[in-house]
Structure 1
Amino acid sequence: MPATLFAVLLGGVAFILYRIRQIGRRPPGFPPGPPTLPLIGNLHQMPSKQAHLQFQKWAEEYGPMYSLILGTKVMIVLSQDTVVKDLLDKRSNIYSSRPELYLGTLLSEGNRMVLMEYGDKWRMIRKTIHNMLNINASKSYVPYQDLENKQLLCELIDAPDRFIDHIRRYSNSLTTQILFGHRTISIDDPRFIQLFEGFHKFTQIVGSGSSALLDLYPILRKLPDFMLSMRRYAKELGQREKELYVSHWLEAKNGIKSGITVPCVCRDIVKAQEIEGFSDELAGYISGSLLEAGSDTTSSTLIGFVQAMIIFPDVQKKAREEIDRVCGDRLPTMDDEPQMQYIRGCIKETLRWMPTTPLGMVHAVIRDDEYMGYKIPKGARVMYNVWGIHMDPKRHPEPRVFDPTRYADDYQTALESASNADVSKRDHFSFGVGRRICQGMHISERSLFLGISRLIWGFEFEKARDAQGNEIIPDADQLTEGLVAMPQPFPAKITPRSEKHVRIMRGEWDKCQSMLDKEKQWKEAPLSMRS
């Protein structure tokens, strides 16, 4: 072998060995973080459960911006409001993409907006959604929210032990109305059950260790399906999910074209499809992704509020005093919202105290950047640690205390708060940041106001008791696992305030019956929504 060829081969081997040795190490100039091990970096330290608590501990130890080396990938964790504002808001032009999530993308065939990389397809969908869910459009859907809330109240009277299911039906049904023009009238509806079970499984898959390994070590993707049970499972789940979303879409599309569907978001998707020419499959995922977001996050927030009322009865008392002062013997309406600053504080505090995405949705930076003297490499995953920011005692003294008076002088809407140049005046980060901020926040605010104000108006929330008569106190730090979280299931004692309140709640629901057909669907569009 010629000496020059031998030297080249030897140099190549040395280079490969050098590169392998660098895997798992934290390069010079990166933000600080936990000590690493060769090849795996910090993978061995990544928590399998209650990750929000571990990420909060790391923030306390390593500061407002730290790094985790995950095999071949880098994650930058932002745990301070100023850092999030500076990077994900002010530099949103390079921090608005998503990292590759192999199993998640495979499951939804690249059509799920929340997982899409920043690009033309994502911008087209976002523009379409903005036209459908802007603040003016969102006001028109209040009749749907009002109707569903009144059914929820009666469901809680009749079967309070199933409050989690009833709250989920409420949020799902108002979302199916807004999107597709039809109601979900029962917690036993097969499509309702499939949605929540399927979305829960989706978040588990995306947040699983198997998913992480396939993202961090792409060579593993070459293994056959029989050796990758999670990939096989993702394909099967994805097929069922696509069938659900496309069936919802086609049902609405056909109803719109035949003129029998009440006003809904899918009307605008039909128009957008005619202009942009995208497939029914993508249309199904556009509407299906909105269905996921509207159904799961609103219900999780309301369930968190119920837990807070059980743990903090003094807050419940103060909230009820305000509601009784404003409303007396009638249900609260959206017109009462400006006069109920304490209830507005309850909404903001619930979103802070029990965030539905405690670790946010991971962003990706599309080119090399530098901040605070540290390097942030192109392709790095960037996580904004919502839990860590919300539980920072410098930002919120006694952060695990549920205290709506934190917002006594905060009259901002969610959008105004997120857009405030002074990030210290932002109420919470539960609706996201930058160009990835939730576009349905206006609708969510109204759903939460009607839900929270009327629950407090009509019911008492107390701790349940075990067989021995001991009070059961929920652990507010124990959350479900996955991308979207809520309190671990807990029992509650929920009782109407009085027979008078029961009569009023049932009477309001009875009045709604004339607007519904025998299937409990709208006979025609609510008067305020007729064009």
Structure 2
Amino acid sequence: MSSSTSPTSVPLPSIQVLGAVAVAAFLLYRLLRIGSREKFLPPGPPTIPLLGNIHIFPTSLAYHKMSEWNRQYGDIYSLKIGSGTVVVIGSAQAVYEVFDKNSGLTADRPPNHFVDIVTEGYHLVLSHYGSIWRNMRKGAHEILTLKSAIHHRPIQDAESVQLMYELLTQPANFFDSVRRFSMSVILSVTFGKRAPRITTKELLAFFEMHPHWERLLFPGQYAPVDFLPFLKYVPERFAAWKKDCKMVKKMQEDLYFGLMEETKHRLERKGEENGCYMETVIKKADEWGYNYQMVGHLGGTLVEAGSDTTSSFTQTLILALTAFPDVQKKAHAELDRVVGQDRMPTYEDYEHLPYIRAIVNEVHRFRPNAPLIPRRAQDDVFYKGYRIPKGATIVENLYGLFHDPEVYDDPERFWPDRFILSEFGTKKALEKDPGRRNNLAFGSGRRICAGYHVGSYSTAINTMNLLWSFDFLPAKDAHGVERYPDIFNYAEALASFPNPFECVIRPRTPAHATMIKRAFVDHIPDFQRYEHDISPEDKAFTDALRAEVKKSL
């Protein structure tokens, strides 16, 4: 009897198995989509799964690469950082449309856990947009008026004269002299206490603290806690950033709150008020609803912002004058024609010095203090048909904006004449474009620099004084060959600072040197208004310095 065979039967997959496969495929698809650019975003560099553009994100002087991408992809482009989105803005029109016209949607800052720990959310420049920020900003606007800035011009004039005297007597130390000048001005106008020397204890405390603070703020220096929130729960012994946040917090509070307490005590002593900003804040703290932390951190924020901007500007000014001697010659000719050599410039001369004003504008364009300014979209923002999604980081690329060869002729050249030929330094046909203004370097929208009046006066008076007084010349090597400084040698920092360079600084004539000394003596009463709380060591220094200047006349 023959037996028949039947084919082996294959069981059909169960519904559960099919479901599991479908879920796995969907999850794999979603996983591989991480890092991909959504269709509604502006274009940008090609992405790879999971990472997006992390693998090509620049880690050194990022504004150079980000400006190159602006030239390639347009005035708005996007980067994917894992699942996160960064949109980069690189034109005056885009700044106007995204930040000025949509200021209510783009006034926030990206999340920064380190800032929250160190300042408890009370940092005017870095904190989130909300009720606390609006309250602090309102107070800042009330104290940082043009009227109050004019009140402090005598100490700015006096500190500028001391800077000139230091360049006259210790020209090789010009980097320290510029830093001292910048810090002393902002300490005087904010806390009412000047810093007469680079070793003043408040300056030493600031210069010790600030590099640690900048390291916390600089991307890539620590674990990416804001992108990987679970890292917040790593024990401190395995998380260096936790220890460093505590250290910086203590250093800031010791410095800023210590200065605040000195200001309070000075208010209690009749006859020692000098009208500094924190005197007003302390008096109105209850009226404004400010707590102790808000008062101290507002003062600290003003010090940080004022010091960096003025110091960066002045160091870049000296670098540019040394590297581009033809600019100096034109400036000297204009100053000699308008001011003469028998007196020093005053602020009233500024409006009659178009080339000096052009130099100031060109320094801001050439090396903006903050090359990249990050914001965060609080809701969807639209520009050129693209959607910037809620929560995205929006970077204002000031360096790219100011170095666009389609907008500025020969943008890598320090050439103030561009602001003589065109109001905004642009090619003539572009000067009427929306958003053009000469204070773009001071920010935009609701985050525009509140201390604009103080900062702009310091840059104006310093530019006039330094150019009226000195020749800035390249150093020479052993064979007498001039060594011009590298105009691209800038520090890896949040603010734009040139690395130390050599130059020769000498008075234009012996008469200029004598007038600097006489001006120094004339300004002694202006200095003394801000010296009630200086240390005994600083008091001895100022007495000796003034005796030295008087003796030399």
The reply to whether TM is greater than 0.5 is yes
1:128-207 to structure 2, matched below 5 A, reads 128-207=139-218
- CA distance in 2 between partners of 1:145 and 1:477 (Å): 30
- CA distance in 1 between partners of 2:478 and 2:296 (Å): 47
- CA distance in 2 between partners of 1:309 and 1:62 (Å): 34
Q: Select the residue among 315, 323, 335 that pairs with 2:335.
A: 323
Instruction: Please say which of residues 333-342 and 505-514 is displaced more in the overlay.
Output: 505-514
Q: Select the residue among 232, 242, 245 that pairs with 1:221.
A: 232
Does the 8 Å contact 1:108/1:242 carry over to 2?
no
Rg larger in 1 or in 2? 2
Instruction: Tell me how far 1:373 sits from its aligned partner.
Output: 1.9
Residues 386-415 of structure 1: CA deviation (Å, up to 9, x unaligned): 010100122211111112222227789xxx
Q: Select the residue among 19, 39, 44 that pairs with 1:33.
A: 44
Q: Select the residue among 453, 458, 468 that pairs with 2:464.
A: 453
- CA distance in 1 between partners of 2:524 and 2:280 (Å): 29
Mark the runs of 5 or more structure 1 residues left unpaired by the alignment: 413-419, 524-531
1:274 and 2:286 correspond: yes
1:379-528 to structure 2, matched below 5 A, reads 379-408=391-420, 422-423=433-434, 425-427=436-438, 429-514=440-525
Does the 8 Å contact 1:312/1:402 carry over to 2?
yes
Instruction: Tell me how far 1:499 sits from its aligned partner.
Output: 1.3
Aligned letter for 2:521? D
Residues 423-448 of structure 1: CA deviation (Å, up to 9, x unaligned): 46322521011110001111111111
Query: Relative to 1, partners in 2 of residues 1:327 and 1:521: Cα closer, same or farther, differing over 3 Å?
Result: farther
Query: Relative to 1, partners in 2 of residues 1:289 and 1:134: Cα closer, same or farther, differing over 3 Å?
Result: same
Identity %: 33
Query: Relative to 1, partners in 2 of residues 1:11 and 1:196: Cα closer, same or farther, differing over 3 Å?
Result: farther
Aligned letter for 1:293? A
- CA distance in 2 between partners of 1:301 and 1:196 (Å): 18
Instruction: Please say which of residues 72-81 and 459-468 is displaced more in the overlay.
Output: 459-468
Mark the runs of 5 or more structure 2 residues left unpaired by the alignment: 1-13, 425-430, 535-553
1:342 and 2:355 correspond: yes
Does the 8 Å contact 2:92/2:401 carry over to 1?
yes
Does the 8 Å contact 2:262/2:533 carry over to 1?
no
Aligned letter for 2:360? I
Q: Select the residue among 291, 295, 307 that pairs with 2:319.
A: 307
2:540 is matched with none
Query: Relative to 1, partners in 2 of residues 1:279 and 1:5: Cα closer, same or farther, differing over 3 Å?
Result: farther
1:121 and 2:132 correspond: yes
- CA distance in 2 between partners of 1:239 and 1:518 (Å): 30
- CA distance in 2 between partners of 1:313 and 1:452 (Å): 15
Residues 288-319 of structure 1: CA deviation (Å, up to 9, x unaligned): 10011111111110100000101111111111
1:106 and 2:117 correspond: yes
- CA distance in 1 between partners of 2:529 and 2:293 (Å): 32
Does the 8 Å contact 2:95/2:435 carry over to 1?
no
Aligned letter for 1:247? G
Instruction: Tell me how far 1:375 sits from its aligned partner.
Output: 2.2
Instruction: Please say which of residues 156-165 and 370-379 is displaced more in the overlay.
Output: 370-379
1:333 is matched with 346
Query: Relative to 1, partners in 2 of residues 1:212 and 1:51: Cα closer, same or farther, differing over 3 Å?
Result: farther
Residues 347-385 of structure 1: CA deviation (Å, up to 9, x unaligned): 1111111111111x2011111233222221110000011
Query: Relative to 1, partners in 2 of residues 1:503 and 1:89: Cα closer, same or farther, differing over 3 Å?
Result: same
Instruction: Please say which of residues 215-224 and 380-389 is displaced more in the overlay.
Output: 215-224
Instruction: Tell me how far 1:467 sits from its aligned partner.
Output: 4.0
1:78 and 2:78 correspond: no
Residues 324-366 of structure 1: CA deviation (Å, up to 9, x unaligned): 112221111111111111111111111111111111x201111
- CA distance in 2 between partners of 1:74 and 1:167 (Å): 39
Does the 8 Å contact 1:151/1:509 carry over to 2?
yes
Instruction: Tell me how far 1:7 sits from its aligned partner.
Output: 8.1
Secondary structure of the residue aligned to 2:252 is helix
Query: Relative to 1, partners in 2 of residues 1:519 and 1:340: Cα closer, same or farther, differing over 3 Å?
Result: closer
Aligned letter for 1:262? N
1:353 and 2:366 correspond: yes
Instruction: Tell me how far 1:269 sits from its aligned partner.
Output: 0.7
> Would you say how many aligned residue pairs link Structure 1 and Structure 2?
513
1:288 and 2:300 correspond: yes
- CA distance in 2 between partners of 1:401 and 1:278 (Å): 47
TM-score, L = length of structure 1: 0.91
Instruction: Tell me how far 1:208 sits from its aligned partner.
Output: 3.1
